Amino acid sequence: MDTNKSSAQVHEITMVEAVTLALAHEMRVDESVVLLGEDIGPNGGVFRATLGLREEFGFKRVMDTPLAETLIAGMAIGMAGHGLRPVAEIQFMGFIYACMEHLVSHASRIRNRTRGRVTCPIVLRAPFGGGIHAPEHHSESTEALFAHVPGLRVVIPSSPVRAYGLLLAAIRCNDPVLFLEPKRIYRIERQMVQDHGEALPLDTCFTLRQGDDITLVSWGASIMETLMAAEQLSEQGIECEVLDLATIKPMDFNTILKSVKHTGRCCIVHEACRSFGVGAEIAAGLAEHALLELKAPVKRVTGFDTIMPYFKNEQYYLPSEQDIVAECLELMTF
């Protein structure tokens, strides 16, 4: 492992470039890391997240597969059972359901099934979420489905820095990890990312902004609107604490609880549909553990209980900065 941080290069890059950087770093230091997926070789994947990796690491470590998600998941689990650390790419989350049998019945329970003798260190990467005017099955945000599977980690970065650090952690994790990349913000901002090989912790919330009045909890692309709403509310004298959930499962609920006990108010923002979601889980936890500290009911700003609409109506489905501000103003006047 390269621990020479002083000589590590610093790159001003987008989130998708941070994914490439993390993959390349880990493949250089760990020969057991291999990539597989549709068109990830010479084409670099549908969003070019693996661009240039075939040329550097060869076809034995960067493998193009047929258009068959079930095969990709099954191959990854088989590879992990033989000592490799496969990172598989599913082109869009809407096509990941073919992998469910392998994820639920095999990858997530191998450790338990073998009483700890065998683990399944695979990462399934998938672009997810709306906002790029894609057709049906290309804008899914169904992280709650997978968060319900015991033994499966679900991780969602929201910036280039966190994409780099969390992907390194996911690859090094001995449990199967579903790594969901919010494609709406793949190229929306650049950050300085140091290629030092230092992973960020999984299962940890990141506090992006301090505040005393309202706790805003979000993840993925919705972090962008959440931060803009916090800025707008600050101009009105309302200071929000913004938490990036980052790891959906296992959830760092203690950080949320501590923040809400401090502010007394909470608004959860996600673009997934409203019912039976991760936001509902957080709200239930706060009702159970912080009821007497709450100054107002927990609010949720979410997508709708329907299939993501086509691009003409996409803007009405996704939570907006104005939606978040409106709910927060209600919280303050409750």
Sheet of 62-64: strands edge to edge?
A: 62-64, 33-37, 85-89, 123-128, 177-182, 153-155, 247-249
Residue count of the chain: 334
Q: Is 102 a catalytic residue?
A: no
Structure tokens at 209: 């902004």
Closest CA to 90 of 61, 68, 106: 68
How many angstroms separate the CA atoms of 134 and 5, rounded?
40
Q: Which of 25, 102, 138, 270 is catalytic?
A: 138
Residue pair 180/245 in contact by the 8 Å Cβ criterion:
no
How many angstroms separate the CA atoms of 140 and 180, rounded?
11
Cis link prior to 176 (omega < 30° from 0)?
Answer: no
φ, ψ of residue 87 in degrees (nearest 5):
-120, 110
How many angstroms separate the CA atoms of 160 and 188, rounded?
10
Secondary structure letter of residue 201 according to DSSP: P
Structure tokens at 222: 């919705």
How many angstroms separate the CA atoms of 72 and 95, rounded?
12
CA distances from 94 to 5, 37, 99, 130, 308 (A): 38, 15, 11, 11, 11
φ, ψ of residue 302 in degrees (nearest 5):
-140, 180
Structure tokens at 247: 């790891």
Pairing type for strands 240-244 and 206-209 reads antiparallel
Which residues does the annotation mark as catalytic?
138
